[in-house]
Structure 1
Amino acid sequence: MERMQFKTDIRANVAKVYQTMLEKEGYKQWTSVFNPTSEYEGSWNKGEKIYFVGTSNEGKKEGMVGLIKEHIPKEYVSIEYIAMMDDGKEVNKGPRAHDWIGGYENYTFSGNNRQSTVTVDVDVNEKMIDWFQINYPKALEKLKEICESNR
């Protein structure tokens, strides 16, 4: 896996950006860049599982299963990937699961009452680097648009 970093500055306070990024409706909007049916199930609470899911082209429920390793509200969220979702079932064996299990995705929030910076550090398997380089900046741009249009 390779650690990649993506960052964006947003003209909105940290609380607004944090809430928009993690609450269900905002999450669906900014992650629609990855999959138009993207959503999450579960909790952002430390120690709990969270399921990042969407519907595949074949109509199957697929995605990633994470464990919230750390959550400091409005500052930092750390997710460790522990399994994949395949047709609605958790899978933690096989080559596809092996490519992601043990990887992390971390969100860091900083700023003040007028300007925020979101930094995402994510572990990516080598086959997906180009896809992430194209799509993660688009997703963060969408987050920026949502936050700045709802000020």
Structure 2
Amino acid sequence: MKRKNYSIEIDASAAHVFETMLGKTTYKQWTAEFNPTSDFEGHWELGEKISFIGYNKEGEKEGMLGKIAAYTPNKHISIQYIGLIHQNTEITEGPMVEEWVGLFENYTLTENDGVTTVAIEVDVNAEFENYFDSTWPKALQRLKELCE
């Protein structure tokens, strides 16, 4: 496991970026870089379970299952992964999820003179490092376009 960092500066307030980042419609737009059917189910609140999903070619739900470990509106969100979603089923134990359970994805927003820096820290398994290095910058650029 490796912790990767990605960031972007957005010419908008932290409140606007936060709302755009987490809003149901706009979330789907900027995370489409990861999966064209990207979505979430759940609530962005401390302690809540949240599912990050997409659909495979058979129409089955696939994705990650997380818990909101920290939540400060307009400033910070930390997600701890607790399992996977595979073929419409939540999986929280066993060999399929061992490499994912306990990993974190953190979002920190810092506003200075109307410009917000979005900093992402994500724990990555080696097999996904190149994918994230390619996809996160595109997703953040899309978020920037939606916000500005």
Pair in the same fold by TM > 0.5: yes
Q: How does 1:127-142 map to 2 (within 5 A)?
A: 127-142=127-142
Distance of 1:74 and 1:17 partners within structure 2? 8
Which residue identity lines up with residue 44 of structure 1 in the other structure?
W
Residue 113 of structure 1, CA deviation: 5.3
1:2-55 CA distance string (max 9 Å, x none): 100000000111110000001111110000000010000001110110000010
What is the aligned partner in structure 2 of residue 25 from structure 1? Answer: 25
With normalisation by structure 1, the TM-score equals: 0.94
1:47-97 CA distance string (max 9 Å, x none): 110000010133210000000011000010000000100111111234331
What is the aligned partner in structure 2 of residue 95 from structure 1? Answer: 95
Are the aligned partners of 1:14 and 1:112 in contact in 2 as well (CA < 8 Å)?
Answer: no
Distance of 2:82 and 2:35 partners within structure 1? 20
1:99-144 CA distance string (max 9 Å, x none): 2111000000011452100001000111000000000010000000
Which of structure 1's runs of 4+ aligned residues deviate more than 6 A? none
Q: How does 1:38-53 map to 2 (within 5 A)?
A: 38-53=38-53
What is the aligned partner in structure 1 of residue 14 from structure 2? Answer: 14
**Secondary structure at the counterpart of residue 79 of structure 2:** strand
What is the aligned partner in structure 2 of residue 66 from structure 1? Answer: 66
Gaps of at least 5 residues in structure 1 are none
What is the aligned partner in structure 1 of residue 34 from structure 2? Answer: 34
With normalisation by structure 2, the TM-score equals: 0.96
Distance of 2:64 and 2:78 partners within structure 1? 14
**Secondary structure at the counterpart of residue 79 of structure 1:** strand
Are the aligned partners of 1:76 and 1:109 in contact in 2 as well (CA < 8 Å)?
Answer: yes
Which residue identity lines up with residue 103 of structure 1 in the other structure?
L
Are the aligned partners of 1:14 and 1:113 in contact in 2 as well (CA < 8 Å)?
Answer: no
Distance of 1:126 and 1:40 partners within structure 2? 25
Q: How many residues align?
A: 148
